[in-house]
Structure 1
């Protein structure tokens, strides 16, 4: 006897439910038994690594190479599933011989606190504030230079607007917020987070297994190729990213990124409000080449916008060219790039 349509539908639904349950169980078992969540994580950069216990951003880690004299430079990595200070390594290595250089691990990444909490632009700004305050405590109250990559450029822009006396200049490499999708004239100090999506992703028992599936080596290579716009990625960066993404708590900040909580609502407006000297550089290859709103700032006297035939991490592909361009910008500031103190 053939089954009625309702019976067939019921059996199909039951089979689907069993399949999904089995897949989930398999994913959880693979994550718990087959993935090392405590891979050794060496320092991303040379120099001394320090931690700040902050009230608003939690424990924040940063690297310092401060043997040289001059205006301190703060470097800030981008935001992605496996972000960390290794992303600024070519710039850190270049400038550490001529001036004090600091590199921040933003909250949720690298050696900074990775607790399960809501990661937002405000949290990142507070971490930048705390780090800049510590740098000025060490080197004196004179303003510093700061450089940020990608989405973190909007965090740096807000931090500088809130404490403009702390900065001499800003450098933005491949900044997010000039494209058609993520440009922002929305409410100030807001984010695009969807709480329902964050709650769906970042909860046991499936949260960590889902993240483990996202940060396999093939998956990370795929996304780095989109960033570089080429199969010729930086292999050492991939290796370090993979280790960083397999630390305890590594999933929490990336899930906030995926659910939109780290994307500001007003990034374009932030850039338009900047009055400090700004050096902006972006590539022309890969998935991150939409800069349609750059004309809103490009003609301003405090902005210098340059491009290179690279992907979104030009400092890895052409480190000498990027360093020379940034040094030329710094040399145009009063006192020159070193601005050495006696």
Structure 2
């Protein structure tokens, strides 16, 4: 996907749906990159500090946004340039019907990396977005120095549905009259509070639940999440067909426990791939930077420092 350089903007009428009255997830400037015939990408940035850029990407679920990476954005904004993406269909990005797919989200990340940062970045992604981040890195390896994947999907023995099956399920979820009532159930405050709290040792922070509820009730908010629920955004055999292809970029996986993701194949995979390593912040349920920010950034800083020392 090649887009003109002048597509960065704070508002656009090219989206079929745009956020209405949604407060920013982060206290930082938020801009959009218009994507021809598709919902826009949004990104927050703080570029006051110098150094290697850090790019953060939220997870994929019914109501994700840059709010999920807020502790990391706030911590690192004084130390280095930091960007946080709202992928199309979520947060401050454009909403509406589109052919959401793993390939599309990887292309979106590639577009951002080509247009905005001025040097190779450290890329950090949560959960399913880890698969998109690796796809983007494989397509544009020169734009990424390292990856951090927090509770990544794709290391479980249980496989996502094959694409023909998800292609059959998706119209049933998204194309029939009940798609909005169905999504309203998924995105109810009670549902959001329940599912978010599964990712915490205790209870999800109230401010996170509030923002997730707000972002999931924007015009067109149902389209990307219903694609996710159909299974179309997962990569079959990701451990071998996707992660196994990433053989040169230093990659850190932070994985302890997660109610939605299993890691049965991770340790054997790490052993067989010299550029991959595993870190743990114990205990956590998939969002270690919310449970123990100090331990998380210590692990991240040690990883990035090791890259600098090995380059000397």
TM-score, normalising length: structure 2: 0.87
Mind listing any 5+ residue stretches in structure 2 that lack a counterpart? 1-17
Aligned to 1:88: 69
Aligned to 2:49: 68
Does the 8 Å contact 2:19/2:92 carry over to 1? Answer: no
1:55-100 superposed Cα distances (whole Å, 9 cap, x missing partner): 3754111101111000001000000000111111111111110000
1:279-304 superposed Cα distances (whole Å, 9 cap, x missing partner): 110123x5145211113431233122
Does the 8 Å contact 1:60/1:112 carry over to 2? Answer: yes
| Deviation at residue 40 of structure 1 after TM alignment | 3.3
Per the alignment, do residues 193 and 42 of structure 1 end up closer, same or farther by CA in structure 2, a change over 3 Å counting? farther
The whole-number CA distance in structure 2 between the counterparts of 1:69 and 1:182 is 42
Aligned to 1:223: 195
Does the 8 Å contact 2:46/2:82 carry over to 1? Answer: yes
Per the alignment, do residues 53 and 311 of structure 1 end up closer, same or farther by CA in structure 2, a change over 3 Å counting? same
Aligned to 1:334: 308
Does the 8 Å contact 1:154/1:264 carry over to 2? Answer: yes
Mind listing any 5+ residue stretches in structure 1 that lack a counterpart? 1-36, 185-189
Instruction: State the secondary structure of the residue aligned to 2:217.
Output: coil
| Deviation at residue 197 of structure 1 after TM alignment | 2.1
Aligned to 1:19: none
- Determine which structure has more spread, i.e. the larger CA radius of gyration: 1
Aligned to 1:143: 120
Aligned to 1:6: none
Deviating 4+ runs (over 6 angstroms) = none
Is 1:162 the counterpart of 2:139 in the alignment? yes
Instruction: State the secondary structure of the residue aligned to 1:59.
Output: strand
Does the 8 Å contact 2:152/2:261 carry over to 1? Answer: no
TM-score, normalising length: structure 1: 0.80
Does the 8 Å contact 1:119/1:253 carry over to 2? Answer: yes
